[in-house]
Amino acid sequence: MHRFSTFVLALLLGAGLCAAPTSAVSAGSAGSPAKHQVTFDKYSLMLDGRRQVVWSGEFHPFRLPSPALWRDVLQKMKATGYTAVSIYFDWNYHSPAPGVYDFTGVRDMDRVLDLAAEAGLYVIARPGPYINAEVTGGGFPAWLSTQAGRARSDAPDYLAAADEWLTRIDRIIARHQYTDGRGSVILYQIENELAATGTSQQNYVAHLYDKVRSDGIAVPVFHNDKGRNGIWVPADSGVPGTVPGKVDLYAFDGYPGGTCRTDATPGSPSVAPDWGTYGPGGAKGGASASPNTPGFVAEFGGGWFDYWGSNGTYPCTAVRQGPGYERVFYGTNLANGLTLQNFYMTFGGTSWGRLPAPVVYSSYDYGAAIDEGRQLRPKALTMKELGYFLATVPDVAKMDRGDPVTPSSAAVKVYHNVNPDTGVQLYVPMHSPSNVTTDDSFTFPLSTPDGAYTVPVRLNGQDAKQLVANFDVAGQHLVYSTSELMAGTAGTLLLHGRPGEDGRTVLRYASRPRVDVLAGAVTTTWTGNDLRLDYRHEGLARVRISGGGRPAVTLLLADDPTADTFWLASGLLVRGPDLVRTADARSLTGDTKGARDLEVWGARGPVVRWNGAVVPMRPTASGSLAALRPLPGPTGPRLPELTGWRSAPGSPESAPGYDDSAWPTADRTTTNSTTPPPAGEPVLTADDYGFGVGDVWYRGRFTGSPGKQVSLRYGGGGAGMLQAWLDGQYLGENVLPSALASPPTTGTATFPVPEGLRGDGPHVLSVMVRNDGHNEDGGVNDAHKEGRGLISSSLTAATWKIRGGTADPVRGPLNSGGLAGERAGWSLPGFPDRSWTPAVVPAATAAPGTTWYRTTFSLKVPAGQDTSVGLTLGDPARPRSGGHYRVLIFLNGWNVGQYIADVGPQHTFALPTGILDPHGRNTLALAVTSDGGEGNGLEQVSLTDLGSARGGVPVRPVYSPGWRP
């Protein structure tokens, strides 16, 4: 099914948010009146008149080739406080050739949009045509590189191709829009980081807008401005220096955050910027470029990508942009009125197969809140605290600057905002500048209709707090609290703070209520009509308050680690499990990573079901139900050793007598590549012959002496490589430099010719070029048209043949390249390898060229358990080994990544469940391409547990057809 009723969506997505004034702009419907409205004013987005703080995370389904696991990630996002998911749709993932598109299997975008709505997440749709995203070609399919017209312009051939893509992807997105009640898509992005603003681009943006509207897109349309340049703002912006475009909203991106040093430890954090109401204003001030639309940061740093040859900074990035960063930077954004925030990435996943752009390797972990193995990092739980706070205090969606607040210490500052409709106040204290790492205790004055108060606060290092005052929640009136509010359900309030720090909460009553301290050390003071509670954030204190003219309430006063064990789901407050996925009054689903308590507020006793099993419960004095015994955790899986290897040589093209008669002749004389050959020489670039993805082989025949050396100019992308043989004798290998954030993507390989091969011939030169991706076109300069494969040769009289790969009809155009083994099905399950030679891994030595290794292994992960498995090559303690070799890793026919021993840094590769059979037999094939010789053979290969939990989601096997004769 690809339809969701209005009623279902209301259950999944509806929230009782505060009333909104008349909207300034409404998204029009295509054809008939909309069943729902997406509107906005200068403060926030509004859905059917309800204001929303859009708290979104970036997720790319194309980086997780197991559709069942899309549900896992989306449920984890919803559980950790996100209200929306931002999704790039990658053109090159769906189109192997002009006019050919595939939206089935792992490319079923209807399914991911259905799953997002099922999880209760709104969707920000970002289909390009250009997405960047560190994917090959920036999302452009390889075949687009042969076009004459400039990409990202009004060139007719480019517009025709872009329209072809948009017609197909818009057909899917349009039927999932919130506006007609069939889905949860609320925003649509045209283009991405388009920095050129000439007439051609103005026409282009207008064309895209008109195109998507004609395709039935009715939700607001925006462009994401790279780095806050005031480019592509709505026409009525009125801010000098901005560039207007045909868009409804202005959005921008930014990635502040400091550096990771070479030893992979967190560097000094940078200062949180003011990109909204507290900022400098003007065209380059962020949200100030469009004062009539809400503050919208379409990408804010949730980590950063890593590049070939680095020291492996993802763990460092996860810490650097971890809990302290999130509280300070994202809190600063909230204070600045950025009510639409999307965090890039929330789950990075894997740039599997030939998906990576030259700037990244296979892992796209990004240091994100959910790691590549789908495990929640500590920073995910801080995002949960912030997301739950916003769900509990919807007043944040409309805030004006309040009166300036002067704290008692010059080392800190306090943002102060007020909702003009409700009078709810938001205070955000942090160090000034925000990267100060000292421990400071201070006070600041607070004035509300309840009176004037002096509020004590402590800040230790990189930290900020979201504090509210004059707020009605759960039938109570909160005067103020120095603890952060995380949840307010019927009869329960959850507040939290840093471990060991003091907290104070003040509530107002008509008369003195009864206070029962059920757990923890809490002192109470009654003054006037204020009940003051003082405590320390240590574990979980419980206080029951009744009477005083208000409904009874249980205050749960937690330190952060304890607060992070709480989950909000369908009106229930749940404590104990490592994840709560779904909930109703009697049934819960979720994950446990060990034996865990279970306590539920709002459930109907005396039992609940956990993952389908009955759990006896008992009532508590806190108004909850508690399980009589802990929930069970996972059983450690026994991952087998990888043995029984067989191998076969895989570079037959290097032999002089190899039959290449069926290969195409490389004899074109013109090209649209930005790297044409010298005048008079044939075009050799692989894209011109339809081989734009993966490795490509060349065989050049010539007579006459090759001279003392042979030079070959080639394009290989990031850490690309070339190997050459003359008359079957190995000349050597050339690898493009790495350890650079912007690596060179072309180079010249020069090899000395052995004296015995310098005669008049005839000769044959065999060349293999590894293509590690097409350049992105961020500069709007057709960088994606840079040639891949050979560009030119010193052998000007040679006649060349060329052979690359073909698109895998199941795994898609980015799975396979032109290695002989790939073409022959050696990567596939079921291939008859019994005639191959038994092999020992690790291997002490290797022959030059490619050698294939195959084995099978069986897994017995317990039923009802989610174990994320990885494959580890070499020694993870070393970013690089000395071995001059690289490996393409195929699991059940799926290319899950590339290991480069002497470049690094990646050693462990995620094997997604679904591609991996956790309850059966799996085939592993490794294409090992070596420079040859001792020390350049395949290192140790083993399976690794990336994280286990009892629970998970049902996973169906991804279709993996095997070898056929």
State yes or no: is 599 an active-site residue. Answer: no
Please give the single-letter amino acid code of residue 733: E
Check: CB of residue 112 under 8 Å from CB of residue 106. Answer: no
SS percent in the chain: helix, strand, coil, step 5: 15, 35, 50
Q: Is 623 left (phi over 0), alpha (psi -120 to 50) or beta?
A: left
> What are the beta bridge partners of residue 725?
730, 766
Please give the single-letter amino acid code of residue 807: A
Q: Is 185 left (phi over 0), alpha (psi -120 to 50) or beta?
A: beta
Q: Residue 181 corresponds to which tokens in the numbers above?
A: 């009640």
Q: Are strands 579-583 and 865-873 parallel, antiparallel or unpaired?
A: unpaired
Q: How far apart (Å, rounded) are the C-alpha atoms in residues 11 and 155?
A: 46
Cis peptide before 420 (omega within 30 of 0): no
Q: Which of the 8 DSSP states describes residue 442?
A: E
Q: Which helix (H) or strand (E) holds 820?
A: helix 820-824
Cα 404 to Cα 400, 401, 445, 448, distances in angstroms: 12, 8, 10, 14
The CB density around residue 516, as the number of other CB atoms within 10 Å, is: 11
State yes or no: is 755 an active-site residue. Answer: no
Return the axis-axis angle of helices 156-174 and 199-214, rounded to nearest 10°: 30
- φ, ψ for residue 274, nearest 5 deg: -100, 105
> What are the beta bridge partners of residue 868?
947
Q: How far apart (Å, rounded) are the C-alpha atoms in residues 285 and 940?
A: 52
**From the candidates 58, 193, 326, 786, which is the catalytic residue?**
193
Q: Which of the 8 DSSP states describes residue 609?
A: E
The residue written with tokens 């893509």 in the block is 165
Q: How far apart (Å, rounded) are the C-alpha atoms in residues 365 and 52?
A: 29
Please give the single-letter amino acid code of residue 148: A
Q: Is 375 exposed, middle or buried (0-12, 13-18, 19+ CB in 10 A)?
A: middle
DSSP collapsed to 3 states, 707-771: CCEEEEEEECECCCEEEEEECCEEEEEEECCCCCCCCCCEEEEEEECCHHHCCCCCEEEEEEEEC
Q: How far apart (Å, rounded) are the C-alpha atoms in residues 202 and 205?
A: 5
**From the candidates 58, 134, 191, 299, which is the catalytic residue?**
299
Question: What positions carry a catalytic annotation?
Answer: 193, 299
